[in-house]
Amino acid sequence: MSGKRMLLFGVAGLLTASALLAIGILLVGRFGGTEGRILGTTALLAGYGLVALPATALLDRGHFRALAAATASLAAAGASLALASVWIPSAPDALGNTVGAVTAFALAGAQVSALAARRQPRDPPVVRRLFAVSCGSALVAASLFAALVWTQASGLYPRLFGAVVVLDLLLVALQPLLARARPAGPTHRLRIVLTSGVTIDVTVEGGDLATATAKAIRNVERSGGRVARLDVDYSEVRAPTL
């Protein structure tokens, strides 16, 4: 079973356990401190598991492995710290601040990983530029939030953080919209086999087969992969645009 499927089943199981525990405690149990911690533990594990999902998608495809590893590590660190804050009696404020900062960077990593997994070789240049800018805005927003929880700044600072978050959300929303709005051109279906053994099916836009093939190989190499073999699907002239 792949790591992605294992994580999906794990998150589904934790969500189910959280719901069943909540139902049981509310109907027949006593909602005390221990019950609340148990419920909080399962909910936190499920939540951070969802944060790590985009990283597993990248790992399954063999793309951006360093980004995927960093995102998964931040999600695991955030989950560990959050669980410690739940179970440690009278947890210090510094622990809560650390949880907030690490979680902010984990969410930024999840955003970048999800957008990286969405990218297609046929994306227009404006979408690629928006992707690069959104990576920076996610990092800036996470840094501002980390500083906010540690300094408890007031006045203009929270407004600045809110403005950066809104800008980041706009950049994220524009990328799939502009990618789909691009006029459809000649497309070629290719199957790429990496040296690691991973097989990737891609649909590439290009004026001719040579251009499309070169574009697909460059995209794979740009994301850290190495092409061992490339097969062309001649059965279809055009493929659905995703």
User: What confidence tens digit (pLDDT) does each residue in 134-156 have?
Assistant: 999 999 999 999 999 998 888 88
CB burial of 191-211 (b: ≥16 within 10 Å; e: otherwise) equals ebebeeeeebebbbbbeeeee
Structure confidence at residue 240 (pLDDT): 37
The residues with which 192 forms a beta bridge, in sequence order, are 200, 230
* pLDDT-based confidence at residue 187 (cuts at 50, 70, 90): confident
pTM of this prediction?
0.68
pLDDT of 152 reads 84
| DSSP category for residue 203 | E
Of 171, 170, 103, nearest in space to 132 by CA:
171
Query: Left if phi > 0, otherwise alpha if psi is -120 to 50, otherwise beta: which for 224?
Result: left
Please tell me the number of Cα atoms within 13 Å of 227 on its side-chain side. Answer: 19
Half-sphere exposure of residue 135, counting CA atoms within 13 Å on the CB side? 12
The pLDDT of residue 242 is 35
Q: Pairing state of beta strands 199-205 and 227-232? A: unpaired
CA dihedral 224, 227, 231, 232 (to 10 degrees): 50
Q: Domain locations in the chain?
A: 1-88, 187-232
Say yes or no to pLDDT of 236 above 60: no
Is the distance from CB of 65 to CB of 3 less than 8 angstroms? no
Q: What does each C-alpha distance from 56 to 75, 77, 114 come to in angstroms?
A: 12, 16, 10
Q: Determine the topology of domain 187-232 in CATH.
A: Ubiquitin-like (UB roll) (3.10.20)
pLDDT at 141: 95
Q: What is the pLDDT of residues 59-69, one digit of tens each?
A: 777 778 889 88
Question: Which range has the worst mean pLDDT, 32-41, 108-117, 187-196?
Answer: 32-41
Scanning the structure block, which residue is given the tokens 């936190």?
Answer: 44
Mean pLDDT on 30-35: 70
